Amino acid sequence: MGAMKWSKNQLPKTEDKHLSLMSKSETDKARAFHRSFPQYDSTPLHDLKNAAAEMGIAGLYVKDESYRFGLNAFKVLGGSYAIGKFVAQKLGKDISEIDYRFLTSDEFKANFPPCTFFTATDGNHGRGIAWAAKQLGQKAVVLMPKGSTETRLNHIKALGAEATIEPLNYDDCVRKAAELSAKTPSSAVVQDTAWEGYEEIPGWIMQGYATMVDEAMEQLNAIGIDRPTHVFLQAGVGSMASAVTGYLVNRFPENPPVIAVLECSAAECYYRSAIEGSGEAEVVGGDLASIMAGLCCGEVNPTAWDILKNHAAAFVSCEDTVSADGMRRLAAPVKGDPSVISGESGAVGMGVVDLLLRRGEYPELKEHLGIDENSKILLISTEGDTDPELYRSIVWQGAHSSK
């Protein structure tokens, strides 16, 4: 069997009721909120000119989230914004009326009793929630699935959160976090997946992710590029992929970029749902073991699923070797291109593009996506070396190499 499986998106379309979540009026508020943090700065967009030339395309760009707020991953964008929106709602305000200065003021602390935010995570989301809660004087409780590394656990604990590795997979950790919150006064679940009766906060998290793609578009425009022609987006529950897709469809309603959704094969719920074809979401159970820990989610976010089945062109399931090869490719680039430290869940897009274009495999997928010499491809490296030991074993010592 090859390193990838893929499916065209032939799913039945819906009324697209969730697309407005990512409208410009909403995503502008998220960007303004993040700008109010003293730690805020745009993360780099790397122009891999020489890799693009080698691959026979017009451009290849990598948004590098390893610089985000010093946390080595993008997830804090969603978690911090959701906490801000939660507080604003409790105070009867719009998010545009509050910012970092207000949320850390003595006046706020005197009038808003501390809240406990519960979440489940492989590491990056929980670290973002712990950081945001600490910055804003709140509490965080973080549940991690079995197989999570001590390194990622300790990163979360170092930010003052209560954190444990549970004998459960990710989806069961989500359920346990919700159960614990239900028993805890002055608490909320801040989770980047939705279920019936829990859609509002996941929607806020998705809006928070828009800051990342809004920056990327600003950076592309600065080098004379109106829009990417193609965007490769990795998906766990699908919140990031659908947020970026929703932003781009709202910004370019007449000619949005072609979107490919990528998953780890151990948790290929989007790919299986596409293959099944009815529009209903398939569930992947079991331990969900992969080096791509951030993508090890066996149940889709229904909001994300609705956006992606309306707007994605293809769903791709990837073995661990695809991401490992992408990590090495980014770390040791074509001469003249910048080196990018991209973690296991961040590099799968580069692995896929390399397979399609440099190695010339899966020509039918390349044709379906319409990639040619004029293509300008955007990738998002969603994390850096969040587990340095695992990163080194892959990039330095060749673990999980393709044959």
Question: Any catalytic annotation for residue 320?
Answer: no
Residues present in the chain in total = 403
Question: Is residue 347 pLDDT above 90, yes or no?
Answer: yes
Active-site position among 5, 29, 63, 75: 75
Residue 403 has a pLDDT of 64
Residue 255 has a pLDDT of 97
Q: What is the pLDDT of residues 151-192, one digit of tens each?
A: 999 999 999 999 999 999 999 999 999 999 999 999 999 998
**Mean of pLDDT values over 327-338:** 98
Residue 109 has a pLDDT of 86
Residue 316 has a pLDDT of 98
Question: Is residue 337 pLDDT above 80, yes or no?
Answer: yes
**Mean of pLDDT values over 245-269:** 98
Task: Give the Cα separation of 43 and 59 in Å (integer).
Answer: 19
**Mean of pLDDT values over 219-229:** 98
Active-site position among 47, 63, 85, 122: 122
| Band of residue 402 on the pLDDT scale cut at 50, 70, 90 | confident
Pull the structure tokens for residue 81.
Answer: 């914004």
Question: Any catalytic annotation for residue 122?
Answer: yes
- Please provide the average confidence, as pLDDT, over all residues in the chain: 95
User: What is the DSSP code string of 261-297?
Assistant: EEEEGGG-HHHHHHHH-SSPPP---S----S-GGG--
Could you tell me the pTM of the whole model? 0.96
Same topology for domains 4-73+201-395 and 76-198, yes or no?
yes
Would you identify the CATH topology of the domain 4-73+201-395? Rossmann fold (3.40.50)
| Structural class in CATH, domain 76-198 | alpha beta
3-class DSSP assignment, residue 318: strand
Q: What is the pLDDT of residues 45-95, one digit of tens each?
A: 999 999 999 999 999 999 999 999 999 999 999 999 999 999 999 999 999
Residue 123 has a pLDDT of 80
**Mean of pLDDT values over 302-312:** 97
Share of the chain above pLDDT 90, in %: 90
Q: What is the pLDDT of residues 125-136, one digit of tens each?
A: 999 999 999 988
Beta bridge partners of 258: 230
- Dihedral sign from CA coordinates of 217, 305, 71, 350: negative
Residue 192 has a pLDDT of 87
Q: Nearest-5° angle of CA 267, CA 273, CA 279?
A: 150
Q: What is the DSSP-derived secondary structure letter of residue 356?
A: I
Task: Give the Cα separation of 75 and 208 in Å (integer).
Answer: 9
| Band of residue 208 on the pLDDT scale cut at 50, 70, 90 | very high
Identity of the amino acid at 327: M
For tokens 């044959």, the residue is 403
Domains of the chain, by residue range, sit at 4-73+201-395, 76-198
| Band of residue 1 on the pLDDT scale cut at 50, 70, 90 | low
Residue 16 has a pLDDT of 98
